[in-house]
Amino acid sequence: MVVSIGIGSALWLTRARADAPHLSESDPAAVAVGYKEDAATVDKAKYPTFAAGQTCGNCSLYQGKESDAWGGCTLFNGKLVAGKGWCASWTNM
């Protein structure tokens, strides 16, 4: 019985996560770290730490597979970030 409750809870969390809202670039938390849905649009003059190839999908804070279009991020609890996005908090895996 405990196992079925645990599995049910895990399924519910997975569904809830898939239904989570996408983080908007205009969200104050996103603005604070320069979040962009597409890393190709990062202002390299404003964020000189950005390097080609860095994306949310290959950041250690990303809570999805690198190939996922959207996934969770430990910085933006409850909102999904674009796998091809980027922010100044990017850290190597």
Instruction: Give the chain's domain count.
Output: 1
Q: Is there a domain that residue 73 lies in?
A: yes
- Distance CA(72)–CA(21), nearest Å, equals 10
pTM: 0.80
- pLDDT at 11 (0 to 100): 40
Confidence category of residue 8, pLDDT binned at 50, 70, 90: very low
Q: Is there a domain that residue 51 lies in?
A: yes
- pLDDT at 10 (0 to 100): 43
The CATH code of the domain that includes 82 is 4.10.490.10
- pLDDT at 17 (0 to 100): 63
Write the pLDDT tens digit of every residue in 53-89.
999 999 999 999 999 999 999 999 899 999 999 999 9
Q: Is there a domain that residue 66 lies in?
A: yes
Of 64 and 11, the structure prediction assigns the larger pLDDT to 64
CB atoms within 10 A of CB 7: 10
